[in-house]
Amino acid sequence: MRPVIKAAGLNPADWTPRELRHSSVSLLSDSGMSIEETADLCGHSGTTITESVYRHQLRPVLLNGAVAMDRMFGANDTYGS
C-alpha cells in the first residue's frame, strides 16, 4: 500500500489503508457511481454493509436523489396540497 501512496504524491504517515478506502468510496459516490456498483467494488455481498459503513460518503448520492424527486414532483408541492 505504501508504494501506491508514495506514487500518488501523498505522505505515507498521513494515510492508512482504511482512509484510502473511505476516500475512494467518497470520490466514487461524488462522481455518481451507484450504490450497487460501489458495493460490488468494495467486495460486499449486497448494499446493506456499504450503506451502513459509508453512509457519510454516500450523502451526495442521496441528496442528488432528493433533488431529482423535487424536480419531478415540485419542491413546493406539499404532497398534493
pLDDT in tens, 24-59: 887 887 787 888 998 999 899 998 988 888 766 666
Query: Structure pTM?
Result: 0.56
Reference 25, options 14, 6, 39; nearest CA is 39
Q: Give the three cell numbers for residue 48.
A: 446493506
For residues 71 and 46, give the distance between their C-alpha atoms in angstroms, rounded to a whole number: 29
- How far does the chain reach from its first CA to its final CA, in angstroms? 56
Can you say how many angstroms the Cα of residue 67 is from the centroid of all Cα atoms in its chain?
17
DSSP tag of 54? S
pLDDT over threshold 70, residue 3: yes
pLDDT tens for 69-78 read 788 887 665 5
- What was the pLDDT predicted at 45? 92
